[in-house]
Amino acid sequence: MTQAIVVQTTTGSSADAERLAEIIIQNAKGACVQIAGPVTSIYPWQGAIQKEEEYLVSIKTTRQAFSSLAELIRLHHSYDVPEIIAIPIVDGSSDYMEWLVQSIS
C-alpha cells in the first residue's frame, strides 16, 4: 500500500538526538522524528562487548528519501558506524500516510 518507512538510528545523548531530529526535519527528509530513551544497547565493538546508554531516533519517511536521509545522518552523526535501518510501514490511516508523503521533499 505504501512507500512509507520508519528509519531508526541511535545517538549517545538526548542533545545529539534532538540536534539530528531538527536537521532531518529542516531538510524535509522526515515527516516526524520521535526520540525515545534512554535505552540500553549491548553489542560487540572492536573485540569487546559494549554496554551503552543510547537514545533511539525513529524517523517516518519514504523509501525514495532513504538514500538522502541516510547520507544526512552519516554527515551529522557522531558515531563511526551509525545504525541506519529501514522498516516498512505495511499500512496506516490514509490521512496520516498522505501527510507523511507530502511532508518529504
Q: Are 17 and 92 in contact (CB under 8 A)?
A: no
Q: Please give the pLDDT value at position 87.
A: 97
Global pTM reads 0.93
Closest to 30 measured CA to CA, from 73, 76, 90: 73
Give the chain's domains with CATH numbers: 4-103 (3.30.70.120)
pLDDT band at 1 (very low <50, low <70, confident <90, very high): very low
Tens digits of residue pLDDT in 36-70: 999 999 999 999 999 999 999 999 999 999 999 99
2 pLDDT band (50/70/90 cuts)? low
Burial of 105 from C-beta contacts in 10 A (0-12 / 13-18 / 19+) = exposed
Residue identified by cell 538510528 is 9
pLDDT value, residue 81: 95
Output the furthest CA–CA distance in the chain (Å, rounded): 47
